[in-house]
Amino acid sequence: MNNYSVVNYHVTNRCNFHCSYCFAKFKEPEASLTDAKTIVDNIASYFRECGITDGRINFAGGEPLLYRHLDELIDYAHSIGVLVSVISNGFLLTEERIERWKGKVSCIGISVDSLRDNTNRSIGRCCEEKTLDLKRLVSLSQKIRECSIELKVNTVVSKRNLDEDLTALYLSLKPDRIKFLQMHLIRGVNDKAEADRITEEEFKAFCSRYQSLSPEPVCESEGSMENSYLMVNPAGKFQLNNGGRYETFGSLKTTPFSEILKKAPMDSDKFNSRYTGGRVQ
């Protein structure tokens, strides 16, 4: 049995942003709190069966802060010994929320693609035309650090931000981890973003400009997401980017996760190269 120590539970399809390249679009409805706990229990059982002591559930979306049971679910996952991280666009994140998560959430990831208002708006990274500015991001990052939570910044690289210098962003936020993701297309999900796609060479050139940053960014090219990113969709079904197209493989509400994984064509080498030693990459 392969040991997958990080599972992304996309608790909601809803988002206050409307990024053109968004691949987190699920047609399934959100789970009730009872069902969501069953899903978390199932993942925790899988970790135990595999002897994974640092298993982590990454709550994602859509925007996970829009899932009304998020805090209770975090409390629950923490109470049964599962590590928890959250990935958010940051717009709804508050200092109070971060304080509430202290001691329960090991890492908060914030996705930031640009410091330019017009670029963010053109991507759709805005809520009623309002974007997130650097001052606000710095304040959130300080609170995250104060609460001894690891901070990760994710940047999706596309034609829209390929030429932007984002150094000031990373130097100001001082994240523990930086990840660059080459914008990728999932057939039938975000095809309309095709015009913003960049080549692997362009992505590599972008990444090389930030090599001297500390910490050095982790770079994920388009192909590295395929068959390697464990997704549980809002209804609790295991979903995989299988060669550039989504495929689902059974429900964690009814079937042991270890059984579902036997049917899924996971690429364990890709998974292992993303996550080393259970830490967020």
Q: Is 24 in the site for ligand SF4 (CB under 6 A)?
A: yes
Instruction: Report the alpha-carbon distance of residue 68 to residue 86 in Å, rounded.
Output: 14
Instruction: Report the alpha-carbon distance of residue 250 to residue 65 in Å, rounded.
Output: 26
Closer of 66 and 162 to ligand SF4 (Cβ): 66
Stretch near ligand SF4 under the rule CB under 6 A, chosen from 59-67, 74-82, 208-216, 265-273:
59-67
* Contact of 37 with 253, CB cutoff 8 Å: no
H helix or E strand, kind and range, residue 281:
none
Closer of 63 and 226 to ligand SF4 (Cβ): 63
Please give the structure tokens belonging to residue 211: 């090599």
Size of the site for ligand SF4 (CB under 6 A): 11
Give one DSSP letter per residue of 120-156, joined into a string: HHHHT--BTTB---HHHHHHHHHHHHHTT-EEEEEEE
Site string for ligand SF4, 4-23 (x = CB under 6 A): -----------x-xxx--x-
Q: Is 63 in the site for ligand SF4 (CB under 6 A)?
A: yes
Stretch near ligand SF4 under the rule CB under 6 A, chosen from 58-66, 98-106, 142-150, 234-242:
58-66
CB of 154 to ligand SF4, least distance (A): 9
Instruction: Report the alpha-carbon distance of residue 28 to residue 53 in Å, rounded.
Output: 31
* Binding residues for ligand SF4 (CB under 6 A): 15, 17-19, 22, 24, 61-63, 89, 111
